[in-house]
Structure 1
Amino acid sequence: MSYGNKELTEFRQYLRTEKRSKGTVKQYCHIVNNVLAHVGREPAQITRDDLARYKAHLAIEKEYSKNSMYTTIKGIQSFFRFIGSDAAEDLVPPRRSERMPRYISEAEAHALIESAKGEKRDYAILKMLGYTGLRVSELCALNVDDADMHEKVVTIKSGKGDKDRIVILDDSSVNALRSYLGSRSEQNGALFVTKRGRISPVSVQRIVKNYAKSAGISKKVTPHVLRHTFATTLLRRGADIRIIQKLLGHSSIATTQIYTHVDESMLKTVYEKSKPQY
């Protein structure tokens, strides 16, 4: 038996109206489905004690990480506040651990991209990920007319947080895109396509994984690892942290500053140049 179908449908619509990302809508609704199924009651009947026991269940039996627990509690709180219940008000999400971004070296990134040179679409995708720092969802949402080859910019429309922004294309990325589009019969619509239509994030993740393997990279490489690699490389080469923030589409510079902690060799180099001479 399922519970809270009406409330969950309305909650999903509310999240969409609030311009929450597709990922957040899907994740929060999944979280609410799980808690309703576990407690086994309609939302209005669920109490603070029910949710306290559910939190303990996730922490002890399911062994949720701090980050998973944080997201789950935020989703639960959002739902119960939406239906006008105070049942989730006693739930306190744990502080999320600050995980260092995973990235690959410039040599590995070069090998990864070059391994796709024989496939125009895949080569253009890897160029875009490696040289723009786009999120995979942003890359998949691009249309042909979002890329201005003459001005060498791409407009990201309603990225994360419902913010538009501009990212820069280097010459090699422009050339890769032109070569790919020149091989297509359809010059409008989605920028990256498969035989079935617009490419999906899962397909892009598979592309990155396969070419990383072809390039002999033993690390786990994902589109987000390439985003981290882009940011870390810019920082290492002297880019201002505020420029990196704009290129990545971070609303807070605090999010971008995590990259200042990841490169020990860079920190040592800067320290040696800047340390006091007492």
Structure 2
Amino acid sequence: MSEQKAKSEVVSQLVRLARRERLSYDDFAYVCQQARKKLKLKKTKREYRLPHLLTAEELTRFFKAVRDGGQVQHEIILQLLMFTAVRVGELVKIEVSDLDLAACKIFVDQGKGSKDRYLLFPQAFALVLRAHLAAHPDNRFLFETQRRGAYTVRRIQQIVQQYRLNAGLSDAVHPHLFRHQMLTFLTGEKLSDAQIQLLSGHASKKSLEVYQHLSLDAVESAYQQAVKRLDLGP
């Protein structure tokens, strides 16, 4: 048996022991920490792959296919995904009461990591959202299906795939892609890392000190100026 395999077996035995003795999480974490030190185990580095992005031409084709589909709510959903870089799991939970149309902000209640935060959207998009709400005055959620319930993440994924096919795009397109697209765009518009992290909701220990001196108000002007140059087609 190789040395690495022997160490892995020890770890497996520790897991079985912890289950049998019903160790608490803290006790189990302590045992694992000590075992790693004793065995000189190192955590494998996580590999990060750069996301595939659509070209400007592909992005235009995609949103043209959305407009040609004639489903206004679908168009608003997908534009909001792009403009706000919101996670799709957060998008489907947005309620009408979370919107502040005057301030062009959306409150995200208990987003990823159980963190509350705000999203920004373009000032011109406030008119679109206002019209959407006027057309659906009884909505609880910002976006609701014909059965008057919130969309599921799976349904949003299906909608994106349908428009990908309609646009004739061969590469994979998924809701999270629009988050990557927007954050990449804002990076190209020279927003700072700290500003983008605040807009995206990314948590980084390295940026905590910066966050203490940076508010959403300080980012809003740069965001609004940048998004005016975002072209999703006619």
Shorter-chain TM range is: 0.5 to 0.7
Normalization by structure 1: what TM-score? 0.58
Q: Distance in 1 between matches of 2:160 and 2:52?
A: 15
Question: Aligned in 2, Cα 1:250/1:175: closer, same or farther, shift over 3 Å?
Answer: same
Structure 1 residues without counterparts, runs of 5 or longer: 1-46, 55-75, 256-278
Q: CA RMSD in A?
A: 3.0
How far off its partner does 1:149 sit?
A: 1.6
Alignment of 1:226 with 2:178, yes or no, is: yes
1:190 is aligned, of 141, 150, 164, to 141
Alignment of 1:112 with 2:73, yes or no, is: no
Alignment of 1:206 with 2:167, yes or no, is: no
Q: Please tell me whether the aligned partners of residues 208 and 221 of structure 1 are also in contact (alpha carbons under 8 angstroms).
A: yes
| 1:97 alignment partner in structure 2 | 47
Q: Distance in 1 between matches of 2:14 and 2:170?
A: 42
Show the 5 A alignment for 1:18-29. Answer: none
| 2:220 alignment partner in structure 1 | none
C-alpha distance after superposition, 1:214-264 (max 9, x if no partner): 122221011111100001111112222221111100111879xxxxxxxxx
Q: Considering Cα pairs closer than 8 Å and 6+ residues apart, tell me whether 1 or 2 has the greater RCO.
A: 2
How far off its partner does 1:190 sit?
A: 1.1
Q: Distance in 1 between matches of 2:64 and 2:131?
A: 15
Alignment of 1:51 with 2:12, yes or no, is: yes
Question: Aligned in 2, Cα 1:215/1:242: closer, same or farther, shift over 3 Å?
Answer: same
How far off its partner does 1:171 sit?
A: 3.8
Count, aligned residues: 185
SS of residue paired to 1:156: strand
How far off its partner does 1:52 sit?
A: 6.6
Runs of 4+ in 1 over 4 A off after TM superposition: 87-93
Alignment of 1:82 with 2:32, yes or no, is: no
Question: Aligned in 2, Cα 1:87/1:248: closer, same or farther, shift over 3 Å?
Answer: closer
2:119 is aligned, of 167, 170, 173, to 167
How far off its partner does 1:87 sit?
A: 6.7
Letter in 2 for 1:82: Y
Q: Please tell me whether the aligned partners of residues 132 and 168 of structure 1 are also in contact (alpha carbons under 8 angstroms).
A: yes
How far off its partner does 1:175 sit?
A: 3.3
Normalization by structure 2: what TM-score? 0.68
Structure 2 residues without counterparts, runs of 5 or longer: 1-7, 208-234
Q: Percent of aligned pairs with the same residue?
A: 28
Letter in 2 for 1:110: T
